[in-house]
Structure 1
Amino acid sequence: MAKITFSSISVENFGPFRERQFLDLSVSSSRSVILVKALNGSGKTTLLTALQIGLYGAKGIGSGRRTDYEQLVQALQRTDAGDHSSISIGLIVDMGGGRKEITVRREWTRQRSALNETFSVIVDGTEDMDFTHAWDDFIGAILPPELVHLFLFDGEKIEALANPERLPELLRRATEVFLGIGGIDVLGNDLRAVERRAGLRNKESSAEYQSEKNALLDLESQQKALSQKHANVLQEQASAQNTLDQARLSLERYVAEARRDGLTAYEQAASIKSKAESANKRANAARSDLAEAMSDAVLPLAWLHKLWDRYENEWETDGRSRHAKLLSEEFKRRDRRLLTALSKQVPGTSLEAVRSLLKRDLDQTTRSTQTRKPLLAPDGDPADVAIRLKHARLGVREAITSLDSAQRELVQSERALGEVPAEEQLTEILSRMHEKSHAVATAEQHVMQLSASLIETTASLNYVQTRLNAAQSRLNIDFRDRSIEAKGLEAAMRARQALSVFKGRLLASKGPLAVRHDYR
């Protein structure tokens, strides 16, 4: 526990003290009492006030409100000595087995209507920033500001302090301070102030907040209803799709069974009739083409067989005879040209020998080549006729093939047409198939309607969800302090209740220290 002793006080431009006035408060064993004697209004009370506000600041006055404190300081500042005033208190602090000399200093500067205060704690001539910041806690632990008026008071107030009506309350408050109950009351008052300020803020924004909250609740209700509707439509769509699948499967099975009973032939009757008519037309056309092919004038030559072969042989023999005759004539002309040319260059005997030699060679060539008079006309080349005959034969074969194909198709079409059942035989089948087809169409339409409803519900749900997210975000951003304050208010109420219980139990446990009210 620290111990402090006043050593001096310095007041400057404060109350009746102009400029800097210093008062030594140090004592010794031979000088244990300091008496300050002065006329009324000379500044005795101002010195006590200077000690209180120098040590505690705003907490040194009774109310503790900052405005009262500033008014008091401004009232005590001298206006004839400038805008600066100060109080310095010298203290000797015994703490932890050591001693320090410190100076607590407060300075005020007036700037128009504002009052600027500077506080510092000087240790060994240098300001100690840590000590300055912790000063309120330090001095409050040694001498709480609530009890300072019991230690620093004017002699004129002794009678008031000893008043039997006031003394019990003073002692009660002193006891509560020593027990720490004063802090409980201060904390309770602070909590009430917080509750009042929060109530005022909430009162100002309650209408807007309630409007936003109602809109959010409405959107949440819409989102919930649309989510339920979406789930119902989705479930109904799945059921409708199942019904559609079953209807389609039933129709497919029935159609397969009906086709085995002749439905396929009935469904294809028109196509079969059309194919039969087309096959009949192609058969007639093939017959006409065959007749036309058979009417070719050169075609009878194909029926001559061996006679036509002999004709080709005779034509070939006539050709060779003509070629041999032409070749013999050509050799004779050649021999005449050679003999004419040699008659001018060789002797007669030699020329005659050459003529005899050429004649023997020509006779030999003529004998080796059979020559006869041609029997056939020169324009009857069988090669030309053979080309026409080949084309005529090919045309006949194609016409016969086309006719066979058309007749086979005609026979098949007539057979299939004969298998087509009459319409009255399929009345019941067609009726039931129509019912099943109608069931499939109805199920498909129901599924389409549900799909459209699902799309619409999904779009509405997404839209409402987007608005809901935006409203929640806006409410969290614009009114997030409100929810915090609501929780804080609730916590403050619980804290005040707990403090009240704690205070009662604390006083009950300190019964022997209770203050008696029978002072004499």
Structure 2
Amino acid sequence: MQLTEVVLHNVGVFLGRHAVDLSVSTPERPVILFGGLNGGGKTTFLESLQLGLYGKFAKTGRRRSKNYEAYLESLINENVSPDDGSSIEIAFRELEDHSERQYRVIRTWRRLRSRISETVDVYVDELLDPSLSQSWDQAVERFLPRKLCNLFFFDGEQIEALADPSQSSEILGTAINSLLGLELVDQLVTDLQVTKRNKLRQTTDVGHQHRLEELGQKLEALGSQRAELQERGKALVKKAAQAQNELDRANADYQKRGGHLLDQMQELDRKKADCKAAQRHLRDELRESASDALPLLLMRPQLDELACQAAKEQRVKTYREAEPLLKETEQRIVQWLEHNSVKEDLIGKLQDFLSENNREQKRRVDSEIQIDLPRTALFLLEKLRSTELDRVSERVLKIKDGLATLEDQLAEVEQQLVQVPEEAALSDVISRRERARLTHEQLSEQQENLGNELAKLEATINAQEQKYRETECNAMLSGLKDQLEMRVTETADRITETMDAFKSKVLRRHLARLEGVILESYRSLLRKQGLVSDVRIDSETLGLTVLGSDGRKIEPSRLSAGERQLLATAILWGLGKASGRALPVVVDTPLGRLDASHRSNLVENYFPNASHQVILLSTDEEIDKRYYKMISSHLGGQYEIHFDEKRGGSVIRAGYPFEEAA
């Protein structure tokens, strides 16, 4: 299926007739890009596609609890009379029996007397087909099954809830049953149960019949109550997602305007006080060092000179003390030489040498001793120079480095404190954030209460069904005398069991492939390639579980808003791939609240490959000049949805308006 044209006439904000060519000329350019500001009509365009195809069965976000006629009347442009009405035309082509056929669905509605009248005309190859027009609600399932519509037409900001296993199981179940044809199995089981109950009613006694009818009516009422609670649950999920979006936007605005600094002000004040206390402590250490050997560092050259002079004087003192012993030793050496008949001239030369050496030493010894430092004082001086001064110097340098670091930290903290906004300046966003938080908490509480209520109701339904089965069994034992009727009911039970087993096996067989497709899609969209190692779908509940790189389950709360949105997109993408159907993808608000890197992955990897035809409805804050450049080589068409103040309605014109956006 490929959309070729959409025509909106007086629909919502679109005043007058607006025809848009959606045909894709080449497979390399599957993307058709619409740009428009919020409130311009992008969501109306998306809902018009759904309404045009499915009519009263369309699940659009704006209908909510309105009845169908009131919803149609609300879509008639406010500047025209409801009697003039509105219309939606959707043209598409479909390949059938190796030949291409052109279809055009025209849905028109207007107020006729006191009610809204709707007509549907379907043209095939430009010829009106009355039979197809009359049965279009059933025939549309052949082109795009209604239960698969949400896989292909969706709001990028509304799909994040799919990342929560408790909320994804329903759409996964619906999609998987439709993809695998298991709805036929469920319908067969239902038909068999109806047949069985009819046979029981025909053959059982009046008492059992009344009891079965009574239990059946209770079950029907409980089923209606369950359906109502489930619808309320769906509405709460949407509201909670909207509340989460509003809370995220308020938090982002709060952060952007410096609210995080306001939150950190007490911590910043504490850091400032800690820095000042640490500075005082280091300065006390510096003063303590000043009362120790620190001042002597200034006199290190003089201390070195003093030590040198003291060492010289110490050598002089040592010589004086040893002089008598040296003279005695010299005399003994001369005497020994004379005694051993050494030549006199050699002894004379030795005596001359010793005399000259003694005179030289005498001259040195006779130099004036200026300091006369005691040995103990000299030892202390050497210890001071070799140990104490180095220790003090190292300590002082460490203190100076610490003070410099604290100065930098204090300057940074004070700079942050200067940037802290006044609380009054953020009062509007604080109020908005608090309202959003309270709304989200209330909705979460309502969801929890509704879940508890639904669980209790399920228990009641299970108990009633058990009673019904027991009554059926008693009726069968007491009232079934016709063996043929007995065999019909017994066979119905056996077939039901067989169908349940068949359905379970089919699911297990195909779930592994679907898990692989979703995992592949998710990894191609993620910035953190190692974040996810596997994706699992429970064959019983159809709940989806994401496993991290360590093989453990990743709770949805651990994923960022962008990662949850990408997971939801990957689920839809994977289901779309698994469907094997060539269907267009339409995405409103495609980039949502994603950060830059996630947006790049979506623009480069998802949009050009999501389908053979991809229609994007973007705001000015999403696909700007940067992302437009990334996707331009895949564009098959581009349009602007612009609200014309003078005209009083929106218009659609060629060209993308945000191509030059900053």
TM-score by length of 2: 0.35
Question: Which structure has the greater CA radius of gyration?
Answer: 1
Higher normalized contact order (CA 8 Å, seq sep 6+, divided by chain length): 2
TM-score by length of 1: 0.43
